[in-house]
Amino acid sequence: MKKSAILKTLSMLIAVIMLLSVFVSCDSGENKADEGVDGTLVFDHSMELKYAKCFSVDYYKGGYKVIKLIDDTTILVVPEGKSVPAEKPENAIVLQQPVSNILVSSTPVTSLINAIGALDTISLTTYDADSWYINDVKQAILDGKITYIGDYKAPDYEMITAAGTTFAFFSTMLTDDVKEQLNNIGVDVVLDQSAQEDHPLARVEWAKLYGAIFNKEENAEAVFNAQDKYIDELSKLEKTDKTVVMFYITSKGVLYARNADDYMAKMINLAGGEYILSDVGVGETGTAKMEMEAFFDKAKDADYIVYIWSMGGKPETLEAFTERAEILADMKAVKEGNVWCTTPDYFQIQNTIGSMINDIRLMMDADSSVDELTYLFRLK
């Protein structure tokens, strides 16, 4: 190679190295400047959400975060070592990181916090050890790491005060009088709004909100993506021609079926089935109280029954199930042995809804030799 060509090549390499060093120095300078922001809110970007519509997270330079819920609750997350901005959002609840020693009175919220690896931030709960089906939570209570402070309708305010807890997550079942009492002892309360979401996977995506509070964003993203993958895979499959009904019967013989627009009915549809009570409770979430005969007329030909075991008397056999109401024996799913029950933890674990939807598909594809899935089991 000629000397001139070598010199030319060396010159080009030097130019590239210098250019890269400029980019690196600029990036480093921006990061340092970003870290130096204190006491002021300079918008940077918003969290990307795929399904969730009931919350948002905005990121600001210096590590500040502003979380907004559909009930107009605003949370300002202040990074460790930083001061609270003078011009903070109006009526915002201020959480100074690291956030810990909190009260959580919601099993789904607890499941998400546990799933992202932040269970150690919870110190108080309104469910005793025997009420939990999440092993990590149950063990934490038995080990004294989480303290039971009484029912959510009548928590022990003295225990809460003694613990020094100043922040709590509750479900929307929280009554106004309890919330007022909590506020009076200096506890800021945030109500979980995930039940208002349209899409079942949006409930899992709420893990991202807790990820923002506890600086566990990567963990939360991984939890969500794992469940969303089930939905992506199911969307590639053809729909089945199977119909499903989901309900339970109380100890007093009252039947409650999931409404057509409830998230559990939508789980059935996402699995490739059809919720047979498509005209019951249209536009409503939760359950509809139905007379036994009216229910039978609409649901008798359902190919599958998904019975909500924990709320419906906990039958262990098909015979025990039909004892709940004689008319059940004449349903197609009962005659064909396609009565499945939800596992005890079904309503506590919100972080695995994608897997639960996949189980519904597996149920519809299963032959008679399959009696047990992760979140469903067959009555025999």
Mean per-residue pLDDT over the chain, rounded: 92
pLDDT at position 36, please? 77
Residue 257 pLDDT grade (very low, low, confident, very high; cuts 50, 70, 90): very high
Residue-wise pLDDT tens digits, 341-375: 999 999 899 999 999 999 999 999 999 999 999 99
Residue type for position 253: G
- DSSP assignment of 319-348 equals HHHHTT-GGGGGSHHHHTT-EEEE-TTTTT
State the DSSP code for 366.
-
Rounded to whole angstroms, the Cα distance separating 380 from 377 reads 10
Would you place residue 8 in the very low, low, confident or very high pLDDT band (cuts 50, 70, 90)? low
Q: Indicate the SS3 state at residue 376.
A: strand
Q: CA-CA distances (angstroms) from residue 288 to 62, 171, 277, 292, 302?
A: 48, 20, 10, 12, 18
- What pLDDT, in 10s, does the model give residues 108-140? 999 999 999 999 999 999 999 999 999 999 999
Retrieve residue 218's tokens. 């990567």
pTM of the model: 0.89
What would the mean pLDDT of 58-84 be, rounded to a whole number?
98
Per the structure block, which two tokens stand in for 291? 């007379």
Angle between helices 107-115 and 135-142 (to 10 degrees): 100
**pLDDT value at 9 more than 70:** no
Q: How confident is the model at residue 25 (pLDDT cuts 50, 70, 90)?
A: very low
Q: Is the pLDDT of residue 4 over 90?
A: no
- Percent of the chain having pLDDT more than 70? 91
Q: Does the pLDDT at position 156 exceed 90?
A: yes
Q: Which domains does the chain have, with CATH numbers?
A: 238-378 (3.40.50.1980)
pLDDT of the residue at 12: 53
Question: How far is 276 from 324, CA to CA, in rounded Å?
Answer: 21
In this predicted structure, what is the pLDDT of residue 13? 53
Q: Which two tokens stand for residue 140?
A: 């934490």
Rounded average pLDDT over 241-249: 98
